[in-house]
Structure 1
């Protein structure tokens, strides 16, 4: 079973133990004895059998007990094209038979070249240079490293710091974790890589001093980034790293004009703007890269997840020609790489996945349906436990509150009960996989595969409604 919580997606035990006499399958026993799961409290699985997902098709998961579960999170914001796409499996098999592996270290292969060209064609402006990684955290790590080296090569060696936003999540490597703005996620691993600093995020729901003026709030939030650069000293700041829509905290969308002002600030102080699109790229907001939708051109894009729809592990850092230029001079090179970065099979699968995007018009499907998706979820605002519904595209957050009038949130004990114990199990048992999370304030996030439509929106709303009514009665 999936039990997500504060310091990322930490799994905890359900409210009540399984009924007496529940038998462990051999697979569950093997999982109990040998599998160390990510972001998970392992003790509960020594006593209670874990849920095992057996197979998936379209927008549905099926567990080892035969239960059908709507995948309301695309796995983990990943499975854009849906589950069970045979052509993606076939693309992997064909490439594995032809060339299963070769590193992208000074020698290329056909799919990795083709994918780099394809991604460059989608990216805005002169973002033409694609550095492949195994996933999103590695892409963010690569972006910080290249930013530091870029300024060393261009005569500004003091520029090494990064400004990111409060409560934002950017990955688990030592560098990406230093950029992350969630203190609880860092404490076990400190001291981290030095150089990460924070500015305000765009949580408009909890910005009452700005009233209803979203534009004014966006200008205020963007100016906090300038303030952070000036506080640290522009001669020491290399990059600003921002998600187009901030994940942690529950889908904080950018106010109108926000990114345009951030771009001006970065240009003024010679700071690279990194658009962290590990979640937001590849159709999650109806465009290949979300920066296009929100009207700004970064210097670097980091991406992963939906590039292959999860049919192969892959990520990328995409840099513009300005960043690449010093690395084309003389003996300069980027002393950084990954064994599986640009894996031929994952690259071939990603190409086939992008073919599906174009053939089935998945980006346009999101644009056509995002209003209906939001409207359907906003029906939940009639519940006393739902304070806010916010998001964009196929990426939405539902903030839970103790009091709608005052926006009072839940205390630690109630969060433990709601987010760590009751909701994950109840939602799955009721047929919906999504993400209860309280890394900031308690939210439920939904981000279904891009092939979803009104029928799936309605199903999500109905399951959420019934489960949240039970949750409200519980607290």
Structure 2
């Protein structure tokens, strides 16, 4: 059975898409009710870090529900919440030791920018409220998070509703917005942040929010060496909080527990989601430093923020089970090695004339498509090249994650390849063969 709007009472984002009915998931594969197998080459939206169908995770859900399924975050705590906080805390970068559990990445971004604002409000710097982020970023779809997101197409229908937060260009070396080359550019893309701060007024800025490795909008964009260090140095100089959005890149996805660790960066606030629960339950977190939370404690206000399903006991039980699975299977260490192999195999795809750049870190990778490899000219949006790739791959039993519009707000085509971290080398080979089969149909 398949579903397409207007069939049934449920509607989805893609109103013209035919949705197969998935019957079960096992490892890196999904099976629809007709028996067709799909290799989950993107883990949904790079969510399914530990793979599908692990019964030990199901059992933890059942066990916790048998004890208590829900308590409100202003009334009680549970053993599952406190134990997961302790276990996750042991994996966090030094100094990040206070965790606020939520149920989705957008929620955690909202919590982060509100926390930054309240921190300065309680510190007497009431004029600091603005948050700077980057173009070609993705931080979520709630209005605050969308105001920070740098994806033109997602913003366009809602512009009258958005907060006018300032943005600066990403470190997009393949298409440098400054028409320069690294390292002779001397990180002009990082200097752009300081120029923007000075133009907007540093006394009005509460935080700078960035994805350490660019995610859903621009596709596994790895910054050049020295870039993140330069951003943090600028933030420190102006007394601005530095927020790392690790919703997609965190929890082992890049071959470190957190992407900032590749560059020895410790942000003031870090946001997690997606892979925390591996998709088994809605779970995210806003994480910060004790000295920042202490400011709220000293003022006697607490954190003026909350959601019905924050600090959820079942979500935290799932998070704990997933964390233990990570540790038992040594998935983070394995991801680094598997990621190198995946990138090496993806480079082979440059034999196809429409493959422009292959990029990424660990098992967070992307393929950017171009009309002309030499000039890097993008396909016109009307050709819907990414959609063609996604559809042909789907026919071949391969699931990828699409991205468009990152070149000029309209053009730009890419797919993200981010399979579960449990993938084996021979399954990476299978994934590559499915990609080649897909690309041959488009040649």
Q: TM-score range by the shorter chain?
A: over 0.9
Give, in whole Å, the separation in 2 of the partners of 1:322 and 1:138.
Answer: 23
Shift of the 165–30 alpha-carbon distance from structure 1 to 2, 3 Å rule, reads closer
Shift of the 98–198 alpha-carbon distance from structure 1 to 2, 3 Å rule, reads same
Which residue of 1 is the match for residue 327 of structure 2? 358
- Tell me, what secondary structure is at the counterpart of 1:209? coil
1:406 aligns to 2:375 (yes or no): yes
Q: Structure 1 length normalisation: TM-score?
A: 0.89
- Tell me, what secondary structure is at the counterpart of 1:102? coil
* Match for residue 389 of structure 2 among 423, 433, 437: 423
1:190-230, Cα deviation, whole Å (9 max, x unpaired) = 3234241111101111128333x3x4457211111111111
- Tell me, what secondary structure is at the counterpart of 2:160? coil
Deviates more, 1:197-206 or 1:100-109: 100-109
Shift of the 409–140 alpha-carbon distance from structure 1 to 2, 3 Å rule, reads same
* Match for residue 127 of structure 1 among 90, 96, 112: 96
- Unaligned runs of at least 5 residues, structure 2: 407-411
* Match for residue 144 of structure 2 among 175, 195, 205: 175
Which residue of 2 is the match for residue 244 of structure 1? 212
1:209 aligns to 2:176 (yes or no): no
1:283-320, Cα deviation, whole Å (9 max, x unpaired) = 10122221112221100000011111111111000011
Superposition deviation, residue 121 in structure 1 = 1.8
Which residue of 2 is the match for residue 82 of structure 1? 51
Give, in whole Å, the separation in 2 of the partners of 1:380 and 1:218.
Answer: 31
* Match for residue 434 of structure 1 among 393, 400, 403: 400
Q: Structure 2 length normalisation: TM-score?
A: 0.95
8 A contact 1:273–1:298 mirrored in 2: yes
Shift of the 330–236 alpha-carbon distance from structure 1 to 2, 3 Å rule, reads closer
Give, in whole Å, the separation in 1 of the partners of 2:4 and 2:334.
Answer: 42
* Match for residue 417 of structure 2 among 446, 449, 469: 446
8 A contact 1:434–1:444 mirrored in 2: yes
1:463 aligns to 2:434 (yes or no): yes
8 A contact 2:255–2:361 mirrored in 1: no
Give, in whole Å, the separation in 1 of the partners of 2:78 and 2:185.
Answer: 48
Which residue of 1 is the match for residue 342 of structure 2? 373
Deviates more, 1:49-58 or 1:83-92: 49-58
1:92 aligns to 2:58 (yes or no): no
Which residue of 1 is the match for residue 233 of structure 2? 264
* Match for residue 229 of structure 1 among 197, 211, 230: 197
Give the alignment's Cα RMSD to 1 decimal. Answer: 1.6
1:411-435, Cα deviation, whole Å (9 max, x unpaired) = 1221x2x223x22221011011012
8 A contact 1:388–1:398 mirrored in 2: yes
Which residue of 2 is the match for residue 220 of structure 1? 188
8 A contact 2:44–2:401 mirrored in 1: no
Superposition deviation, residue 125 in structure 1 = 2.3
8 A contact 2:4–2:19 mirrored in 1: no
Superposition deviation, residue 470 in structure 1 = 1.7
1:144 aligns to 2:144 (yes or no): no
Give, in whole Å, the separation in 1 of the partners of 2:404 and 2:156.
Answer: 17
